[in-house]
Structure formats: C-alpha cells, structure tokens
Amino acid sequence: MSIRERLNESPAMRKLMSNRGAMIASGIISLYLLLFGWILLMQFVAWVGKTTDSFDLRQSPIMGALLPERTLERVGASNELGFGIHSEPSKRMEQVGFYFENISKMFDELDQAGGGTIEARSESDIRKSVSLAERKIADWPIEDLRAKYAEAQQVFERQERMRTLRDTLPQIGIQIEKLREFKTEYEAAEVDTEAWEIAGEEVALTLDEILVQIEEYADNAPESDPVVAVDVSSLQDAMDAAFDLSPMDPIYDESVVDQLAAAVVEAGPGIDAAVFETLDELEPILDEMYPIPSGLGGLVYKFRLMLGTDQQGRSIMLRALYSAKVAIQVGVVVSFVAVLFGSLIGAAAGYFGGITDHAVIWLYSTFSSIPYLVLLVELAFMFTGSVFEGTLIPLYVAFSLTYWIGPCRVTRGETLKLRSLDYVQAAQALGASKWRILTRHIIPNTSHLMFINMSLLFIGAIKGEVVLTFLGLGLKNGASWGIMISQSKPEVVAGFFWQIGAATFFMFVLVLAFNVLTDALQDAFDPKHVG
C-alpha cells in the first residue's frame, strides 16, 4: 500500500481534515502555491518566447505582469499611497512635479534630436521611454502637447511666485525681531552718545530692510493679503528721521510693527492654501497629458498601484507578490533538501548504530555547538565575491547545511524506537536485508515526522531568507520581502509605511498559515498527540 493510500485511510488524516483552522490555513497556502506556480509558468513561457524570438510576454498586461523585470519597472511617482488615498498636499505637489518633469524630458530629447546634437530616436520611441507601465503620454500631436504643457508651466510659475512669498514671510518676521532688539538698545543708551547713534542707525537700516521686503512681497501678493493691507507709511517716516539723526519719539510706532507681525503670522496659511490650490489646476492638465489607461490595461495599472509605490516609483503590490514566489522557492528547496538529508542519515544512524551512529552524532553535535545565526551568516558569507553572490544559491546552501540537524535528531530517536518493534524483528527473522527494512519499514513510519519538519523548516527558511537579505547576505537584486524591508528604512523615517507594511503582511499571513497547519499536522500525526 502506498504512503498516499495509508494517509487517506488513517485516523490521523481524518482528524486533520476535521480541523477547520488547518483547512483554512491549507487554503491560504494553496493560494500562495498557485501564485508560485503561475509565476514560474509565466517565466518559462517568457523564456520560450525570448529563445525562439516568437513573442514578448512582457507586452501582455496580465500574463507578463509578474515577470521579474516588471517588478523593477517604474509605474508612478515616488511613495504614492495605496487604495487611491491622496497624499498630503506637499507630497502631491512633488508627485505632480515628477510627471511634468517626465514630459519635459520628452520635449528636451525631441528638441535635441531635431537639432542633430545626438543620435535621434523616433518620436514613438521617445514617447515610449517616458511611459509608466500602461500609463502613457496622450496620443496627441506634439504641438498640442506643447501647448498644454505651456499652460501647466504658467500655473507652476504662479505657484513658484507664491512659494517665494511664503519664503519671504519668515524673513520679515526675523527682521521685526531684530528691530525690536535694536529699539531696546536705542532706548537704553544715553542720548547723543555713540551707542545711541549706532543703535538708531541699526533701527533705520532694519526698517529699510523690512520696507524693501514688503515692497517686493506686495508686487506678487494678492490684494487681500494681510501684510499688504498694513499701512507702513509711518515706518517710512521713522526710517527717514532716524537716518537724518533726528529720530521720532518714540523712534517708530510700535503698534504698526505689532500689526505687521500679526499680519505675517496670518498670511502664512493663506499663502500655503494658495500654493496647494494650484493642484486643482495642475492635476486635470496632468490627467489629460498623462491619462489613466482604460479597459484591461487600466485595471492592471490600478492593480499595480493598489498598495502604492516605493521610493523608486515601483509597484509595491507586484513586488510583494513576486517576493512570495522567492520565499516559497527558498522554503520548498531548503525544507525538502534538509528534511530528506537529515531524515535519511538520522534513520541510518538509528537503525545501523555502531560507528555510523557515532559519526552522525559527532557531525550534528559539532554543527549544533556553533551559534545558529553565526553559522548561517558565515555559510552565506562564503559566497561573497563569487559568481553566486546576490543569488539564491548561498541561501540554499546555508540553510540546507544548518536545518538538517533537527530532522536528523528526531528521526534518529524515532528509528531507535521502531527497530525494536515486533514487525521489524519479524522482517529480520524472515531474512529481509537491512536496507529493505530501512526503506520499507523504518523510513515510511517516520513520514509523519518528515511532514512536520518540512512545515517547520519551510517557515524557518522564509524568515531566514528575509533576515539574511536584510543584512545584505542574501538576494541583492530583484524583489524579496527582505529587500523591501531593507529599502523601506528611509521611507519609515519619512512616515511612509506602505512598503514595509505590505512585505510584513504577506509574510505574516504565509507564516501564520504554516504555523497553524504545522500544529494541526503534529496533533494529527505525532503519536504523542493523537487521541
């Protein structure tokens, strides 16, 4: 009877199937495995198309969406929020500026190509070079695009003038504080002394600076601006009198300065609001020049932006999904190799005993004496500078050479118990060879331990891959949860949590599902837990 048939007919399997949590976890794991299989299949199809030069799967919006190169493709501005949530106005201004800068690059290259200064690309190639995945420049004549871009530039120029006004306000505030300090020095000094004249001159110079700044400010400020509304003619008179060494008494009207200081504070939010209001003019223009695609391409593009973009403008959703493939790949390879190797030599050690057992015990005792994380890092570090650096090969080797110890110990202990049972003794009495007994009676009866250990090591390999990649000893390029978490460090400092949140969530769901399934497997198949 095959192992599969024995499992299907066993009470342990029926107990596992009745565990609702285990079934839900199995469903979640199945979705991850389907994703893993789909990505592998599409990579194979893309390789066939490239090798035969018959098709380019990258051009397919759905089948080519999760190819490795698409995870590195820029799809939008930096750190766009997911689920259609709008960023704060200042960040939106930065993001809108990115798109118009892209359009500007297109015009610059077209102008340079037209002037013959560089090797010219076709207009369609230049347009394609500034495309963001499915989002492309509007299919208008270049003249119409230039006219619409000029309209946007007028808004940007007005916005820049408003920003200049906003920068001027703190400078006026600083001068007001200096003016008050010099006035205090002037009033404290004795009349007609050198200190009195110097302080009076400083007051005059500061008043002059304030009036110049207000005049420049008024040239671009709206008529309703509170700073413009302040009558500063008395300050002009005070400045002239101070320069003529016949200062007024008091040297200037403090109430006017108080009004001006209050107006500076009041004007700031208004200027900020005026700057951000330009978004309402720029975003419609942007949507015309860089339209959101419709149809199937539009759905794929919205899916790309579902979890926002990272610092490089890449899709967090695609990178998180592709990282699941990397994690499962590492988990499957490592758990299979480690459990197979560990179980085989553990079973051999337990059954044959003698020098074989001593050799295996010495081997895993030696490996166990080295701190686990140190051994893992050292094994991965061995590949630094080799052709395998930055690939998954160092991870496979490092994990496989460390994770076999647990399955080996458990299987050896179970084999020591099994070899003394009646059916094994009967097989020996009938003349069965040791290898036949080992392969037909011992190892099949440790299969439940293999399932449990594979599940445990699968989780350990996934978490280990994230840790080593985060430390720079794992995958260097492409997408993985470790890379995403490592690259999100400056984003977290800036208050952007979408990338680290996506990587953590996808990893948490997979690891939690395997933890639940592992507990259920242990309850169902481990004789110590079977009730």
Residue 525: band (very low, low, confident or very high) from pLDDT cuts 50, 70, 90: low
Q: What is the pLDDT of residue 244?
A: 86
**What number is the average pLDDT over the span 263-278?**
90
- Asked if pLDDT for residue 125 goes beyond 80, the answer is yes
Q: What would the CATH number be for the domain defined by 316-525?
A: 1.10.3720.10
- Asked if pLDDT for residue 385 goes beyond 80, the answer is no
**522 three-state secondary structure:** helix
* 77-81, 282-286, 399-403: range with lowest mean pLDDT: 399-403
For residue 310, give the nearest of 116, 126, 491, 46 by alpha carbon. Answer: 491
Per residue in 306-317, pLDDT tens?
A: 999 999 999 999
Q: Where are the domains of the chain?
A: 154-280, 316-525
- Asked if pLDDT for residue 28 goes beyond 90, the answer is yes
**What number is the average pLDDT over the span 254-273?**
91
Helix axes 316-352, 498-525, angle to 10 degrees: 30
Q: What is the pLDDT of residue 447?
A: 80
Residue 336: band (very low, low, confident or very high) from pLDDT cuts 50, 70, 90: very high
**Cα 65 versus chain centre, distance:** 18
DSSP code string of 30-55: HHHHHHHHHHHHHHHHHHHHHHHTS-
Percent of the chain with pLDDT over 70: 94
Q: What is the pLDDT of residue 3?
A: 53
Per residue in 371-380, pLDDT tens?
A: 777 777 777 7
If one compares 272 and 113, the residue with the highest pLDDT of the two is 272
**What number is the average pLDDT over the span 153-182?**
92
For residue 261, give the nearest of 162, 180, 199 by alpha carbon. Answer: 180
If one compares 299 and 446, the residue with the highest pLDDT of the two is 299
Q: What is the pLDDT of residue 311?
A: 92
Q: What is the pLDDT of residue 445?
A: 79
* 32-46, 151-165, 223-237, 513-527: range with lowest mean pLDDT: 513-527
Q: What is the pLDDT of residue 118?
A: 52
Q: What is the pLDDT of residue 8?
A: 59
Helix axes 194-220, 142-188, angle to 10 degrees: 160
The architecture in CATH of the region 154-280 reads Up-down Bundle (1.20)
Give first-to-last CA distance, the chain, whole Å.
Answer: 24
CA distance 132 to 137: 9
**74 three-state secondary structure:** strand
Number of H helices, E strands in the chain: 23, 0
Residue 187 CB coordination number (10 Å): 11
If one compares 491 and 15, the residue with the highest pLDDT of the two is 491
